[in-house]
Amino acid sequence: MNLLEMRGITKRFHGVTALSDVTLAVRAGEIHAVVGENGAGKSTLMKVLSGVFPHGEYDGAIHFEGSERQFRGIHDSEKAGIIIIHQELALVPLLSIAENIFLGNEPARLGVIDWFAAYAKTQALLRKVGLNERPSTLITDIGVGKQQLVEIAKALSKEVKLLILDEPTASLNEVDSDALLALLLDLKAHGIACILISHKLNEVAKVADTITVIRDGSTVRSFDCRSETVSEDQVIQAMVGRKLEDRYPKRTPQIGETVFEIKDWRVHHPEHADRLMIKGVNLHARRGEIVGIAGLMGAGRTELAMSVFGRSYGRKISGQVLLNGREVDVSTIQKAVANGIAYVTEDRKGYGLVLNEDIQRNVTLANLGGVSSATVIDDGREFKVANDYKQKLRIRCSNVFQQVVNLSGGNQQKVVLAKWLFANPELLILDEPTRGIDVGAKFEIYTLMAELAAAGKCVVMISSEMPELLGMCDRIYVMNEGRFVGEFTAAEASQEKIMRSIVTAGAA
Amino acid sequence: MADPTIPAPVPGAAAAPGPSAAPAVPTAAEAAHPYAGFLKNNLREYGMLMSLVAIMAFFQYMTDGTLLEPLNLTNLVLQNSYIVIMALGMLLVIVAGHIDLSVGSVVGFIGALAAVLMVHYDWHFVPATIVCLLAGAAIGAAQGWFVAFFRIPSFIVTLAGMLVFKGLSLALLQGQSVGPFPPTFQLLSSGFIPDWLNGETLRTTSLLAGIVVAFALIVAKLRERANQTRHGMEAEPYPFFIGKNLVFAAIIIAFSWKLASYKGLPNVLIIMTLLMLFYDFVTTRTTTGRRIYALGGNEKAARLSGVKTQWLSFYTFVNMGVLAAVAGLVFAARLNTATPKAGTGFELDVIAACFIGGASASGGVGKVLGAVIGAFVMGVMNNGMSILGIGIDYQQVIKGLVLLAAVFVDVYNKSKS
């Protein structure tokens, strides 16, 4: 018996077909993973299902619990028991957990809220999702992982029958991700079905009963994980529509002399000056080398990178930065850039891009001097630079005057990369360069990293995805709680060894 | 480079355009009518200008042609010059993501300062002007300091400034009106460029100046276009380009001819035009301008790209202070007296001008020429409604509704696209 059946769903935007004849069948009480590259149409499909695109704006039929439904808005679908949790959480930061859970749905009489009931119900819901926080705690005071749980508790308060999670673990560390996946299994045991949209195939493999692959707006195939064993490669092949011999470009590293060195780097927390965040880190990177920094979220990797990059994080910073054996001043971002350091942020929308501006203006922002003379920008030269990078990095867009906000995640990431490549750095620090982007774009970014290393640059890659560190890096540092707790060459490194050095360091 | 045995995946990835890439490609309809597509894309850009033309046409009709009479046109320029001048600075402040509520009070304060220096202390107008401009810069710096380096919201800092400088101008003038100014200083607002060619009924120099400017515009645009096409940039369709610039040139010549048949080009128009060209150049062509837009669009990203965001915010306020001082001098010279009430409410007209001209309240968006057009939309309405004898009460109501309508149309268009 299928809980949900979407049949022949077709959705067009101004003549462009986003979904064409998509079929999705979710059985009662199963976890159903929907996977596909960015822009494949997953989010559009979920918007159709949740009524964001109301009935009549699409073709096809939605059957839920045996009868056809015509949702005219999110309100309708929520009433039916379909609740979607978006990637960008919809919580009000300065309200409490209880206030958020019952926002718009407050237990009230004549408009006066019964806070006792609300708090008691919240207490019960939090217990159900395994969150040990008081209902009166403000959202802003808990981490992203816990916020995710609050979202789920909110969904449970509405008597959910089908829960849709859009990339729920994208910004979670492994511990929180595991907890979330365990919760999904628990909900499943209580008969709540779930649609899980994810890029992380290992997680999908852990929990999914069925995997549906969407590519270019159509359903490619559905794997039933209960009756067949499904390998990751099969899924990836279905996602990208071609055989993927290798997820990483092959390269023969040609490693030269040490170019970049950090010695005894110490950084204090920007607000709590007595808290030491980076506790004496030593790092070096050689010409043509790709160096990885592994670690859990909160290990201090981003803080390390940003404090080196013009002290853009922390205060009371001490230690030395050496380029080609000579100590350099990196006390401002301008000086760091002038000394050949570039930092590609993990948060491309928040810190990497000026979203309302076009590709061209974003690409040249870090090196306006390179397209101007006597501070006057040469339009033509700027266009040529942007256009060259568009072709070189295969940024998919109509032209370089397109606003970056309209690009997919992978293409936005390429724009950020183009910006820093144009600044012509010696050392490129990439912070989670492939987060939230699809398999095809990932490969392109890996290839680019390999090319940079081959051209004699240093590349430092911070990543939470161990397979990509192992696949790309010549040497991997392991970071935990502000310290380097391990260092492995590509030959020695393995997922187990890295994990072990994190865990044992934490215990010590 | 990748191993030669596996280059297949990358071209494959590039060749398979996902639906995300698809909307970027021009649709069949646009491809079939390139001009129509172009017009549609640029309608928003010229929409404001067309509204101004429509409003002018409306009042020209309603006032039986009084609006565009040489005398009235001259007045229109004189009445709006100080709003336009401040709108240039305000635009930068708004693009950078801030606001300045103090400019009206600063206009009053600088006027008072100028009056005290020139009337009470008999200073020559040159040193007095310099002192006033420096005072404006100092005022801007003081406010910008708090906004840029201490991150106090500009709304609050400049609200405080509004009260402070209103109070200080009262104190300076001791509640009295001070005037008149020396005649040489009055020329700033009441003077016209001299007519060396001694036209009988027509100020020939002024007309000639207009023709030269129109010609320069066309040459500059042609050069810009040549540079664009040389680098393979897609330029606008040629007939459209020529047509547009000929119309602009014709308007400039017609405008200067009108003014020339009265007293010629006002001095303040020259100042205003030069400032306008300067700020248009700064915002569209220089690295500084570009960085201000980036700062307003995403301050964190701008900072991490090496933009000195704090100093840049600071300088936009210094600049605003100087321009408010210029406006204060122009306004004092026009009234020929400094009164404690001078400048009251100017900040609202200036800010409205920027928003009518398409600036975004959240920063990062806005054009100098838009703000200038916005200022003239307000100015023409003020002027036209006064000629029609509409009371100050309903004038305010109508101006408020026009501001709301302009921003509504802008936001509505954006949400549609």
How does pLDDT run across A188-219, given as a tens digit for each residue?
Answer: 998 899 999 887 788 888 899 999 988 878 88
- Residue of A15 and B306 predicted with greater confidence: B306
- Classify B118 in phi/psi space as left (phi over 0), alpha (psi -120 to 50) or beta: alpha
**Two tokens at B308?**
């000195």
Tokens read off for A387: 């256009």
pLDDT in tens, B305-342: 999 999 999 999 999 999 999 999 999 999 999 998 89
Q: Which of B298, B365, B367, B414 to mutate to test the interface with A (most CBs of A within 10 A)?
A: B298
Q: What is the pLDDT of residue B10?
A: 36
Contact A334 B306 (CB under 8 A): yes
Average pLDDT over residues A364-382: 90
| Whether A380 and B13 lie within 8 Å, measured CB to CB | no
Per-residue model confidence (pLDDT) at position A105: 78
Closest chain A residue to B28 measured between Cα atoms? A15
A168 contacts chain B (CB < 8 A) = no
Longest dimension (CA), chain A: 75
pLDDT value at B9 more than 60: no
Residue B36 — pLDDT band, cuts 50, 70, 90?
low
> What integer pLDDT is reported at residue B8 of this predicted model?
37
For residue A39, what pLDDT is reported? 63
Q: Is A249 on the interface with B (CB under 8 A)?
A: yes
Q: Which of B304, B308, B411, B415 to mutate to test the interface with A (most CBs of A within 10 A)?
A: B304
What are the residues whose beta carbons fall under 8 Å from the beta carbon of B117, sequence distance 6 or more? B123, B127, B128, B131, B132
Residue A10 has pLDDT above 60, yes or no: yes
- What is the share, in percent, of chain B residues with pLDDT greater than 70? 88
Q: What is the mean pLDDT of residues B346-361?
A: 91
Residue A395: its chain B contacts at CB < 8 A? none
| Nearest by CB: B6 against A245, A398, A406 | A245
Round to whole Å and give the CA distance between B6 and B19. Answer: 26
Q: Is the whole-model pTM more than 0.90?
A: no
Q: Is B305–A419 a contact, with Cβ atoms under 8 angstroms apart? A: yes
pLDDT band at B2 (very low <50, low <70, confident <90, very high): very low
The overall longest dimension of chain B from CA atoms, in Å, is: 88
Q: pLDDT-based confidence at B131, cuts 50/70/90?
A: very high
Is residue B42's pLDDT more than 70? no
Q: Is A13 on the interface with B (CB under 8 A)?
A: yes
Between these two residues, B229 and A336, which has the higher pLDDT value?
A336
Tell me the C-alpha distance between A89 and A180, whole Å. Answer: 15
Residue A491 has pLDDT above 60, yes or no: yes
Q: Which residues of A touch B21 (CB under 8 A)?
A: 39, 396-397, 408
Alpha carbon distance B81, B273 (integer Å): 10
A106-110 mean pLDDT: 80
pLDDT of residue A334: 92
Whether chain B has a CB inside 8 Å of the CB on A271: the answer is: no
CA nearest neighbour of A449 among A338, A339, A324, A288: A288
Quote the pLDDT of residue A443. Answer: 87
pLDDT at B44: 62
**Are the beta carbons of A365 and B307 separated by less than 8 Å?**
yes
**Mean pLDDT along residues B261-282:** 91
Contact B9 A245 (CB under 8 A): yes
**Which residues in A lie closer than 8 A to residue B232 (C-beta atoms)?**
383-384, 387
Q: CB–CB of A323/A257 below 8 Å?
A: no
Q: What pLDDT does residue A244 have?
A: 53
> What value does the mean pLDDT of chain A take?
87
CB atoms under 10 Å from CB of B294, counted, come to 28
Q: Which of A188, A171, A157 is nearest to A87 (CA)?
A: A171
What pLDDT score does B11 carry?
A: 37
Interface test with B, best of A242, A365, A405 (most B CBs within 10 A): A365
Give the contacts of A259 (CB within 8 A, at least 6 positions apart).
A285, A286, A287, A323, A324, A426, A427, A458
